[in-house]
């Protein structure tokens, strides 16, 4: 066994610049339902990885439980398929032990926000250098159609036959409240936007959180059609960019302005307003990010997509390893045997 480990460690690194999307595809058959939005996310992740310059053997995908959590099987990289809701905890431990690795967490709305909610808020506040992709289909798909933490109020499901009573989580607002340094939202059916958002998240230093609207063709089909259909998309989807005004609608006919700290929709074609009245988005402004996230649950407003927040902050895994290095420099490496035989041990008879 030791000989095998030594041989593996001695193998040369992959030339990242010579890799293509095909090099990141697992030989295993992908077993999601035909038409599932997970296919689009998988394909775009495989396409951006060669552009990051990271050798294959330094990339790790970690998941919990759910349809999306089969992701590590379909990547020709290292990976862990962990237990329900615990992917972020496992990923944190790995990143602290091996800060040189590119670590990705693939999770769903149930896995991330229900049983895994506590782990994720602490991941966000610590700012561990990990990429989190939450594939949100607003339903529990793997267990056959129960309502999830993001299911809409009143939604009829197998576990809410009279309609879900809870108000859904607002994932970007939750991540912002926990202090996440990179928060974004994209869609499975807008491939250029999906790819660009994933690449930006991968390049961020610190925790990146990307909510992906992902269609479940079996148990919640069409949940996001109004944001993807050509006829309705201009009026219902707001694509934000740093340094650009928040405009939307057919022919960019509408905009988002502020009355105090309250967002309002203004008409840019009635002669009473112009683009100069529209809010110019700043991804480093936390207050603006909260306002943008809150629009997701406000009647009469478009749904925002893009990068809500992107700021620099100290990275937890760097801080931990700096602390360990400082301790070793002061006290030496220590000896486990001496520790076990020291003053803080007892013989129990």
Instruction: Give the burial string for 177-203 (b: 16+ CB within 10 Å, else e).
Output: ebbbbbbbbbbbbbeebbbbbbbbbbe
Q: Are 179 and 186 in contact (CB under 8 A)?
A: no
Residue 277 has pLDDT above 70, yes or no: yes
Q: List pLDDT tens digits, range 41-90.
A: 999 999 999 999 999 999 999 999 999 999 999 999 999 999 999 999 99
Q: What is the pLDDT of residue 2?
A: 58
CATH code of domain 16-223+314-324: 3.40.50.970
Q: List pLDDT tens digits, range 140-150.
A: 999 999 999 99
Residue 9 has pLDDT above 70, yes or no: no
For residue 203, give Cα distances in angstroms to 178, 259, 345. Answer: 21, 35, 47
Q: What is the pLDDT of residue 335?
A: 86
Output the average pLDDT for the chain.
Answer: 94
Q: What is the pLDDT of residue 285?
A: 97
Residue 342 has pLDDT above 70, yes or no: yes
Q: What is the pLDDT of residue 67?
A: 96
Mean pLDDT for the stretch of residues 271-285: 96
Q: List pLDDT tens digits, range 193-233.
A: 999 999 999 999 999 999 999 999 999 999 999 999 999 99
**Where in the chain are the domains?**
16-223+314-324
What does the alpha-carbon distance between residue 127 and residue 115 come to, in Å, rounded to a whole number?
20
Collapsing DSSP to helix, strand or coil, 320 comes out as helix
Residue holding tokens 């999770």? 107
H helices present in the chain, as ranges: 2-10, 38-48, 87-97, 109-110, 117-126, 171-177, 191-203, 225-228, 233-236, 286-294, 316-331, 336-340
Q: What is the pLDDT of residue 4?
A: 56
Q: What is the pLDDT of residue 3?
A: 63
Q: What is the pLDDT of residue 138?
A: 97
Sheet bearing 131-136, strands edge to edge: 78-81, 59-63, 102-108, 131-136, 208-213, 182-187, 303-310, 237-239
Mean pLDDT for the stretch of residues 245-268: 96
Q: What is the pLDDT of residue 17?
A: 67
For residue 124, give Cα distances in angstroms to 85, 113, 127, 163, 188. Answer: 15, 13, 5, 32, 23
Q: What is the pLDDT of residue 7?
A: 59
Confidence of residue 337 (pLDDT cuts 50, 70, 90): confident
Residue 347 has pLDDT above 80, yes or no: no
Vertex 217, ends 212 and 223: CA angle to 5°?
55
Residue 336 has pLDDT above 90, yes or no: no
Burial status of residue 321 (CB atoms within 10 A of its CB: 0-12, 13-18, 19 or more):
middle
Residue 1 has pLDDT above 60, yes or no: no
Mean pLDDT for the stretch of residues 256-281: 95
Percentage of the chain lying above the pLDDT 90 cut: 89
Instruction: Give the burial string for 248-287 (b: 16+ CB within 10 Å, else e).
Output: bbeeeebbbeeeeeebebbebeeeeeeeeebbebebeeee
Q: What is the pLDDT of residue 6?
A: 57
For residue 186, give Cα distances in angstroms to 98, 252, 288. Answer: 29, 20, 18
Q: List pLDDT tens digits, range 87-136.
A: 999 999 999 999 999 999 999 999 999 999 999 999 999 999 999 999 99
Indicate the pairing of strand 102-108 with strand 262-267: unpaired
Q: What is the pLDDT of residue 127?
A: 98
Indicate the pairing of strand 102-108 with strand 131-136: parallel
Q: What is the pLDDT of residue 27?
A: 96
Phi, psi of 311 (to 5 degrees): -135, 160
Residue 10 has pLDDT above 70, yes or no: no
Q: What is the pLDDT of residue 244?
A: 98
What does the alpha-carbon distance between residue 268 and residue 247 come to, in Å, rounded to a whole number?
9
Half-sphere exposure of 94 (CA within 13 A, CB side): 23
| CB proximity list for 78: less than 8 A, separation 6 or greater | 57, 59, 60, 61
Residue 5 has pLDDT above 70, yes or no: no
Percentage of the chain lying above the pLDDT 70 cut: 95
What does the alpha-carbon distance between residue 76 and residue 71 come to, in Å, rounded to a whole number?
10
């Amino acid at each position: 066994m030791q000989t095998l480990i030594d041989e593996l460690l001695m193998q040369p690194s992959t030339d990242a610049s010579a890799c293509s999307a095909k090099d990141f595809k697992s030989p295993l058959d992908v077993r999601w339902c035909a038409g599932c939005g997970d296919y689009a996310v998988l394909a775009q992740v495989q396409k951006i990885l060669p552009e990051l310059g990271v050798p294959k053997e330094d990339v790790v995908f970690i998941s919990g439980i759910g349809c999306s959590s089969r992701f590590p099987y379909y990547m020709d990289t290292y990976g862990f398929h962990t237990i329900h809701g615990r992917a972020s905890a496992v990923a944190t431990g790995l990143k602290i032990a091996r800060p040189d690795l590119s670590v990705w967490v693939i999770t769903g709305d149930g896995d991330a926000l229900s049983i895994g909610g506590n782990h994720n808020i602490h991941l966000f506040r610590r700012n561990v250098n990990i990429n989190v992709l939450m594939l949100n289909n607003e339903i529990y798909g793997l267990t056959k159609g129960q309502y999830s933490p993001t299911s809409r109020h009143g939604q009829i499901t197998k576990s809410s036959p009279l309609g879900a009573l809870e108000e859904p989580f607002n994932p970007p607002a939750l991540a912002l409240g926990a202090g996440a340094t990179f928060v974004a939202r994209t869609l499975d059916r807008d491939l250029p936007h999906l790819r660009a958002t994933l690449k930006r998240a991968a390049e961020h230093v610190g925790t990146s959180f990307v909510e992906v609207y992902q269609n479940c063709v079996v148990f919640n089909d069409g949940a996001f059609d109004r944001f993807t259909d050509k006829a309705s998309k201009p009026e219902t989807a707001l694509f934000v960019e740093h340094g650009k005004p928040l405009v939307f609608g057919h022919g960019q006919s509408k905009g988002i302005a502020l009355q105090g700290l309250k967002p309002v929709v203004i008409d840019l074609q009635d002669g009473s307003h112009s683009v100069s009245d529209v809010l110019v988005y700043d991804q480093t402004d936390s207050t603006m990010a909260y306002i943008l996230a809150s629009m997701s649950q406000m009647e009469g407003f478009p749904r925002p997509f893009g990068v809500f927040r992107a700021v620099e902050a100290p990275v937890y895994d760097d801080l931990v390893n700096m602390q360990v290095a400082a301790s070793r420099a002061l006290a030496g490496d220590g000896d486990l045997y001496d520790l076990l035989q020291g003053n803080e041990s007892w013989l129990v008879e």
